[in-house]
Chains A and B, each alone.
Chain A
Amino acid sequence: MNSIQIDQYIKLCLQGDTNAFRHLLSEYQQMVYTLAFRMLCNETDAEDVTQDVFIKVWQNIGKYNNTYKFSTWLYKITANLCYDRLRSVKNKEQVGLSGLTINSDTDILGSIHNKELKALILQTTERLTPKQKQVFILSDIEELDIKEISIITQMSPSQIKSNLYLARKYIKSKLKPYE
């Protein structure tokens, strides 16, 4: 889907066309879910966040600034919702390898791919702060540039670099024993 098509669908959405929204949803659902899953490592949470993101998009589509990419706007909403969720989980002290996934009900339903990805991310980002995790995933996994990450996270480039440096340092320190 190119940018002209996206703009057309957005205009239709502004007129209340739900079918146009369905097209946008089918195009970007996987992208949003992937980012949410990589950040939260939980199927149910990722689905909830995906739903919240698209409801927010539908309710605030008039506020979309088309000088930025539509995907950047989606990334921004998703990253913020995931960050809030990670913070609330961290506050409840439920984060960690044991707390988040292994014994959850959703794990039974999840595919082997999901389990493998979940284990990999949780092992590597276990002790990262929500901010460090967010920057690491957006930069090194989603491969976004600093400028786009700055728009998404509303952090300055220097803040992004320092968080990314700490995240990489921690992950590399975990990799050392397996040399």
Chain B
Amino acid sequence: MNEVDKSYNDLLSKIRGIQPEIIDSSALTERIMKNMTLPAPSRKPRLLARYFLWASSVACFFFAVLFYSQYSETKAGIPQSQAKFEPNFSRLSQLHEIRQDTPALGQLNCLIRSREQKKEMRKALFHTSNKE
């Protein structure tokens, strides 16, 4: 055993040898006996608080989503819900005109995207029909 180990063991035996004293042992005993008879804190309020916290956080999230969707609709100008389901009458009437001109175009109108495309398609169809 080297010197460090020896002094380490001496230190341990020194610490073990000293028994800490309670300043007033009987007072501590009485204090414990007095406090232990007090009722234990109930878990019920804590559980209720936890449930309330959960419920309020879920409600907050729900309202945040609702608010965000409303906000984005108003920012766009047209409410999204209406824009989705309300038919675009101007576009429908245009398509109807095209359909009246050429029935073949009416079948293709779902593929037509822009005004220029429409014109090109109409020209092409007129050419082919004239040739025929």
Contacts and interface: CB of A to CB of B under 8 A. Distances in A.
Contacts of B120: none
Contacts of B35: 51, 55
A116 B18 contact: yes
Contact of B23 (A109, A120, A172, A175): A109
Contacts of B28: 29, 33, 47, 50-51
Contacts, number: 90
A18 B37 contact: yes
Interface of A is mostly: helix
Interface in A112-148: 113-114, 116-117, 120-121, 124, 140-141, 143
A117 B12 CA distance: 11
Interface in B1-29: 3-5, 7-8, 11-12, 14-16, 18-23, 25, 28-29
A167 to B, nearest CB: 11
Nearest to B2: A179
B110 to A, nearest CB: 68
A140 B12 contact: yes
Contact of B15 (A25, A59, A121, A175): A121
Nearest to B27: A47
A55 B36 contact: yes
A30 B32 CA distance: 13
B31 interface: yes
Contacts of A72: none
B16 A120 contact: no
A43 B21 CA distance: 9
- Most A CB contacts (10 A, CB to CB) among B12, B23, B35, B37 go to B23
Interface of A: 18, 21-22, 25-26, 29-30, 33-34, 37-38, 43, 46-47, 50-51, 54-55, 58-59, 106, 109-111, 113-114, 116-117, 120-121, 124, 140-141, 143, 168, 171-172, 175-176, 178-179
